[in-house]
Each structure stands twice: as C-alpha cells, then as structure tokens.
C-alpha cells in the first residue's frame, strides 16, 4: 500500500484521506520510508524532520476524527526548499554562511502551509542562495536526477524537484528568480509553477534578487500544483510587494478548456542552441493543442536575446545588496581568527560564500560601482522594460506564449560546472518571465531517446494564473507524460 500511495496524485491522496482510506500518519510514514530508501543516492534533502512530521500527521488525523474543519492540504506531506525560514528548524540556503542558522519565525508561505494542515517533511537542497541551474553549487551535497543519477536535476530548486519526481514527497515548494522552479521541473519530469511577481508573499524568503524572486509549487500534475498554489497565494501586509488581492480560486474552473485559444510561438525560442529532441517534443505538444482547436501564431520577442545579459546585471546587483548583510557580525558564519573588524568581515565572507555566490556578488558590485552604474545597471533596467513591452505586445495577440522550458535535457554532473556562461544559458528561455513579472509553468511533454524528461513552458500575462493552469491542464488531459515515473529500487 505504501508504494502505491506515493505514486498517486495529490487529488487522489486528498480524496483517500477525506474518505478515511488512508491516514496522514500512514502517508507521511510512506514518504519517510521513501526518503530512507532513496535519498542516500539522490540527496534531495538537507534536513528531514521525521519526528516532527509524524507528530503533525497524528495531530491532523486526530482533528479529522473529531470532525473539525480541515485545511485544504489536510494530511499532505510537503517538502520545502531550504531558502524559506521555518521557526525552530535549520534554514541554510545551501551555504556554509548559514550552516547553523535557525530562524525564530516562519515565512508567510510556511504559516499558510500550517494553516492548510500540511505536513512539513523537511528542507531540500539547492544551489547556494538559489544561485545556480544545477544544484551543484550547494555547500553540502550534489543532488542527482532520479531519472539518471549521473545527471543534474536542474536548479536552483533541484532538491525539491528531485524529491517530487522520486516520490519522496507529493508536493514541494521552490523559488524562481530566473527559472529555478520551471527548469528543474522540466529536467525532472514534473510540473513547476512560477506565479506572477507579487502573487505569493516573499516574507521569510531569504532574498537573492528582490525584484525577481517568487515562491511557487512543484507537483506531479497540474491539479496538484494548483492546489498548493491556492494554499500559499494571496495578499500579505508583511510583504510590501504583495499584490493586494485574495488568492485566486482555481480548482472549480481547472477542467474547463480555454476556447478560443491562441498560442503565441516566439521564433526566438527556436534558435541555435536548442536540442533537436527537445524541439521535436515541443512541436509535438503544439500539435496536440492544435488538435484541440487552438490556433498557433508566430510572434516575436525581439529583445529576448538580451534577456540573459540583462538578468545577470539586475539579479547580481540585487544579490550584491541583499548579501551584504552577511558580515560575521549579527548572524551567520564568523571567521575563527582575524586581526580587526575589516579582517573579520573579509575572512567571514570569504570562508562562508562559495565560488558562484562570490562571482555574482562581484559582478553586481561592479555593475553598481561609481562610473559603471549608468553603463550597466541602469541600461539593464531599460532593456528590462523593453522585454516587458515585448510580452505586452505578444499578449495583445495571443492568450499564452509557449516554447521549450530548457534548451537541453538534463546534462551530466560536472559537465558545465567550470563554464559559467554555458551554465547561465540553461535558463535562456525562463529568465525573461522573471524580468517581466509573468506567470509561467513547465509541464512534462516528452522524453528523449535516453529516457530523459522534456518540459513545455507556458507563459501568461501577470496575474493570469487561472488561464495558465487551465491551458496546461488541457494538454495534461490528452497525454500521459506526467504519469511516467523514474525506476528506482
């Protein structure tokens, strides 16, 4: 029963829990058993709260037996990317800098998970401070792709993606600054939703790029992602960038197709560098939509080729500012030996940060420095506006924009770790959605001959998650790619 339990969808599990066919404790134990059996090879989790998760599950079961009102996720285990503050539990951001940091408060999304009666399994691995595309930059371990343990799961939410793909958790939270939910979802064969900027509170998220970061759900199917998104979305007065609107109601309309549906297909998303098998799978997915009555329209995003350069100026500038707080004074790593205050700060930061984080801090600091800010950072902000204008024009002609999520399937561990530019190009199709504040999702749309997952990216206008998820569900109902599971014994 345990093995069949963890293979079921979120909605199936919720139905079984509501009917009493399974208990939250049994489901949580099944997930913990899967973690014990698999995670020494996958290394998706940095910390697992076995006792705490089982205690939460028993409390939820007792609440159900008493006939009390239940939350929307009642009894469902959720894995949490280790960049979200959880009271009394480690929040390391995958960095030596925060190796021993235990926050005194919950992030808003964690509070909302608790209010929804979710069971928090533990914290998942990530690229340090969410800076990376492969989860190889973690200070503690390299997470592996459940479909091929010699390959990366994507990043920076690679631990969350691998945990869901391997059946160690039915749901997970990730964060997306330039594709860090959608790209690992694509490479691990699951669904990953990047909400519109401001739709989900960032309070309690350890910041990387404050104008780009967004928290979102990862699940095995669109309905599961929609269920988790409903639970965490909505206005939060603790986040000044939070959109002052309630969480959208998605599930009652999710099965209704969008008709008529016009799909924008950007020619810039099918240029040099796109793997042939990935392109073929995405083209096949577009034909599925056409069979359902959709019209595919060629569109242009003329400033898309500048998205990577723009992102690595805006994001690194914000990272330089956000990570300045880690100085060895108030919290975080402090060097054991130093001569004076300046030496303490320099050594603490030098020892606490990894190579990629240092690289991005230096890039951002340079872009913000006197004499260069106009030429680099301020110019990048102007190009960001042009990228947003491109999408505004596209959405004036179509309902959604579609293309590949990532240019290639999962690559081998170590293959690009010494080539930062090649690694940065892994996010070439996802970055622009963050610059423009769009809603985006990656859904499984095929496999390579080597049995590696391929993802279809769908983008919608800001705050159009309801339409986005309905369009994604249209494809999911017609195909079985989301039902495939990696074979791990």
- Report the domain count for the chain: 2
What tens digit of pLDDT does each residue of 199-223 get?
A: 999 999 999 999 999 999 999 999 9
The Cα–Cα gap between 62 and 60 comes to: 5
Assess whether pLDDT exceeds 70 at residue 164.
Answer: yes
Residue 349 falls inside a structural domain: yes
Specify the pTM: 0.97
Query: Cβ distance 46 to 90 under 8 Å?
Result: yes
Residues 211 and 70 occupy one common structural domain:
yes
CATH number for the domain that contains residue 188? 3.90.1300.10
Model confidence band, residue 296 (pLDDT cutoffs 50, 70, 90): very high
Assess whether pLDDT exceeds 70 at residue 39.
Answer: yes
Model confidence band, residue 5 (pLDDT cutoffs 50, 70, 90): confident
Mean pLDDT value of segment 210-238: 98
**C-alpha dihedral (427, 429, 430, 435), degrees to nearest 10:** 110
Mean pLDDT value of segment 101-106: 96
Locate 467 and state its tokens: 């339409």
Residue 261 falls inside a structural domain: no
Residue 447 falls inside a structural domain: no
pLDDT exceeding 90 applies to what percent of the chain?
A: 94
Residues 85 and 226 occupy one common structural domain:
yes
What tens digit of pLDDT does each residue of 389-423 get?
A: 999 999 999 999 999 999 999 999 999 988 888 89
Residues 340 and 472 occupy one common structural domain:
no
Phi-psi region of 70 (alpha: psi -120 to 50; beta: other; left: phi over 0): beta
Residues 58 and 197 occupy one common structural domain:
yes
Assess whether pLDDT exceeds 60 at residue 2.
Answer: no
Of the candidates 158, 156, 76, 161, the residue with the CA atom closest to the CA atom of residue 121 = 76
Positions marked active-site: 81, 156, 180
Assess whether pLDDT exceeds 90 at residue 160.
Answer: yes
Mean pLDDT value of segment 139-159: 98
Going by the DSSP 8-state scheme, the letter that residue 426 receives in this structure is G
Residues 108 and 246 occupy one common structural domain:
yes
The pLDDT, as a whole number, for residue 330 is 84
Question: Would you call 346 helix, strand, or coil by DSSP?
Answer: helix
Residues 195 and 341 occupy one common structural domain:
no
Q: Quickly list DSSP for 218-265.
A: EESSHHHHHHHHHHHBS--TT-TTS-SSPPPP-GGGTTS--SS-EEEE
> Which of these three, 333, 360, 381, is where a domain ends?
381
Strand order in the sheet with 400-404: 45-48, 119-124, 77-81, 171-175, 215-219, 191-194, 439-447, 453-460, 400-404, 262-266, 295-299
Question: Would you call 336 helix, strand, or coil by DSSP?
Answer: coil
The pLDDT, as a whole number, for residue 489 is 66
The pLDDT, as a whole number, for residue 421 is 86
Contacts 24+ apart (CB under 8 A), 254-257: 254/222, 254/223, 254/226, 254/469, 254/470, 254/473, 255/473, 255/477, 256/470, 257/292, 257/470, 257/474
Residues 97 and 193 occupy one common structural domain:
yes
What tens digit of pLDDT does each residue of 421-439 get?
A: 889 989 999 999 999 999 9
The Cα–Cα gap between 48 and 452 comes to: 28
Residue 297 falls inside a structural domain: no
Residue 359 falls inside a structural domain: yes
Segments forming the whole domain that contains residue 323? 305-381
| Burial of 200 per CB tally in 10 Å (0-12, 13-18, 19+) | buried
Residues 9 and 78 occupy one common structural domain:
yes
Residues 142 and 57 occupy one common structural domain:
yes
């Amino acid at each position: 029963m345990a093995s069949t339990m963890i293979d079921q969808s979120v909605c199936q599990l919720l139905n079984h829990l509501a009917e009493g066919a399974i208990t939250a404790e049994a489901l949580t134990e099944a997930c913990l058993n899967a973690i014990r059996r698999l995670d020494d090879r996958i290394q998706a989790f940095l910390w697992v709260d076995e006792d705490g998760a089982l205690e939460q599950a028993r409390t939820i079961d007792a609440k159900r037996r008493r006939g009390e009102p239940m939350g929307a996720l009642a009894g469902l285990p959720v894995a949490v990317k280790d960049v979200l503050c959880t009271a009394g539990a480690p929040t390391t951001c995958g960095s030596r800098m925060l190796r021993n940091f235990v926050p005194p408060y919950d992030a808003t999304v964690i509070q909302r998970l608790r209010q929804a009666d979710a069971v928090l399994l533990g914290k998942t691995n990530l690229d340090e401070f969410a800076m990376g595309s492969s989860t190889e930059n973690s200070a503690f371990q390299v997470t592996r792709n459940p479909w091929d343990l010699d390959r990366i799961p994507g990043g920076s939410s690679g631990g969350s993606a691998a945990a869901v793909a391997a059946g160690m958790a039915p749901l997970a939270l990730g964060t997306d600054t330039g594709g860090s939910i959608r790209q690992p979802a694509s490479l691990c064969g699951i669904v990953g939703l990047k909400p519109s900027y401001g739709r989900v509170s960032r309070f309690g998220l350890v910041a990387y790029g404050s104008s780009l970061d967004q928290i979102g759900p990862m699940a095995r199917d669109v309905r599961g992602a929609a269920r988790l998104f409903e639970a965490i979305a909505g206005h939060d007065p603790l986040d000044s960038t939070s959109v002052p609107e309630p969480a959208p109601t998605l599930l009652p309309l999710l099965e209704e197709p969008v008709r008529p549906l016009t799909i924008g297909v950007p020619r810039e998303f099918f240029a040099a560098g796109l793997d042939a098998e990935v392109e073929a799978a995405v083209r096949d997915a577009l034909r599925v939509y056409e069979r359902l009555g959709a019209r595919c329209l060629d569109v242009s995003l003329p400033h898309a080729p500048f998205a990577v350069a723009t992102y690595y100026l805006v994001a690194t500038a914000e990272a330089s500012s956000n990570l300045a707080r880690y100085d060895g004074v108030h919290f975080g790593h402090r060097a054991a030996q130093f001569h004076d205050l300046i030496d303490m700060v320099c050594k603490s930061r030098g020892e606490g940060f990894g190579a990629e984080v240092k690289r991005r801090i230096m890039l951002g600091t340079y872009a913000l420095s006197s004499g260069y800010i106009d030429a680099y950072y301020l110019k990048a902000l102007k190009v960001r506006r042009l990228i947003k204008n491109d999408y505004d024009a596209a959405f004036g002609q179509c309902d959604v924009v579609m293309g590949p999520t990532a240019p290639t399937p999962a690559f081998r561990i170590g293959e690009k770790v010494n080539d930062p530019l090649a690694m940065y190009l892994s996010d070439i199709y996802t970055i622009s959605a963050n610059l423009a504040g769009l809603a985006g999702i990656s859904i499984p749309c095929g496999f390579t001959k080597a049995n590696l997952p391929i993802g279809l990216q769908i983008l919608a206008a800001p705050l159009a998650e309801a339409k986005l998820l309905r369009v994604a569900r249209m494809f999911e109902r017609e195909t079985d790619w989301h039902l495939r599971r990696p074979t791990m014994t």
